[in-house]
A and B are shown apart, each in its own frame.
Chain A
Amino acid sequence: MSCIRRTFQRRVALSVSVGALSVLMLAGCATTSGGAMGTFSRAAVQASSALSTAQLTFQLYTTDRSTNGVTDTALKDSLKELLDAEQQVEDASPQTDAEVATQAESLKQIRAAADDVIAAQLAVSGTSSDDPTQSLSAQDAALNDLRQQLEPYK
């Protein structure tokens, strides 16, 4: 009797684990909806959010309102988000000329944004004396435009 119960409990545990894994995998697949343009749109939202974060972080740092720890971490997190967005765009498989063009444009904007965040990191660490404020602001506007342009595909 106890053997049957143990088998039943193992099956329940296995089913729960398989179920949880399936849900996670399905949730992951759902983010790939909308084809290549959907991927570019989501990447643009992610990149735009990351760059806005970097811009706010750098502004708070230059006005002496934030600590080195928070500034370093927020810039690092922004860069990670941008690299993640870049990876998503690179991994997408465009089918049409329009999609190929959007992929190239998205990569260009995201990479420029990543360069700006690196410039901000260098400025904060004192390695560079260049002020990336203008560049961050201009790139933020460019990514915002791209995000709005791709909004219908989200």
Chain B
Amino acid sequence: MKNFISILGSNSDYSTNRLLLQFIQKHFKDQANIEIFEIKNLPAFNKPEDRKAPHEVQELADKIREADGVIISSPEYNHSVPAALKSTLEWLSYTNQALIDKPVMLTGASYGKLGSSRAQSHLRQMLDAPELKARIMPSSEFLIGYSLQAFDDNGNLTDQRKIEALERIFNDFVHFVDITNQLVNANESHQKQAPSYSWEAK
């Protein structure tokens, strides 16, 4: 049984990405305990001099550290990741760097046809930055387009093919978490090197 933390990439009161994470939580409950973390109460990142994480951010960081893996579900705003999710990642990279070497799986839902494809590609690039250095699962794109119509009244995905695709990716992720953690433990130098990184490093 794995312990995962999932981050909802939207701060909106209504979000189909929340529905998606809730579906994942329910659908895979025999394989993993999945907590859904809401970012809407996090303060906006403002690069404080003292580099101290606000307690909400520290709480998230602790949960990430304790989890075997992280699932991030992002909507797409302006071809990119919402500012609220960006801010969350900035806090993590600037303060405690909790995502370093953490296995991450991405999902996304959008109202339109493209299903957050551009946001996910930006998110991958961001998570790959040396300050974040997450271990993102490759070749695992999962997109839900027309997300307002994608769920039934019980919050279940209605498209059986989407459910099967999600199951394949989720199973991959369970293995990916094990493999990645082996790899990371084999080379702990990453951990030592990364915390010294900062945007101010001269």
Q: Indicate, yes or no, whether A interacts with B.
A: no
Q: Which positions in A face B, CB cutoff 8 Å?
A: none
Name B residues whose Cβ lies closer than 8 Å to a Cβ of A: none
